[in-house]
Amino acid sequence: MVENLKEHLQQLEESHTGLEVRMSRERLDEILADDFFEIGSSGFMYDKKECLETGVVLTEMKLHNYEIYPLAHDVVLATYFLVDTTRERNTLRSSIWKFIDGKWQLYFHQGTITPLQLNSFIKES
């Protein structure tokens, strides 16, 4: 169950960071919970309304070392390392996903710029 949940949430996370969803207000609206809020890597806070009305950053991003930590039966913390090739920077990311009305939605997200490079962050399997 946990591995399937991890795969499912990682797919949602990858779609949330992908250009196709980021360019679609409708798709973004489906993924973000109504109470969604974010502390961006810029240090500014955003809510769902701001993300939908002003849009989100459109960059090429790749997730690495995706892990989940169940906090309750319907709440999961996810963490990962993100390489942003467009802005040529790396960030450590965390997300809280909640199971709302029969589907997983992104409730909280935070990105922190890091000087770490991918090769120093990759976990050995």
Domain count, the chain: 1
| Contact call for residues 84 and 61 (beta carbons, < 8 A) | yes
Separation between Cα atoms, residue 110 and residue 115, nearest integer Å:
16
pLDDT interval class at 57 (50, 70, 90)? low
pTM of the full structure: 0.86
CA-nearest of 61, 25, 57 to 42 is 57
CATH number at residue 102: 3.10.450.50
In a domain, 125, yes or no: no
Separation between Cα atoms, residue 43 and residue 41, nearest integer Å:
5
Give the model's pLDDT for residue 100.
Answer: 97
The per-residue b/e assignment along 4-24, b for 16 or more CB within 10 angstroms, e otherwise, is eebeebbebbeebbeeebbee
For 22-52, the pLDDT digits (tens) are 667 788 889 999 999 999 888 899 999 988 8
Provide the residue range defining the domain that includes 16: 2-120
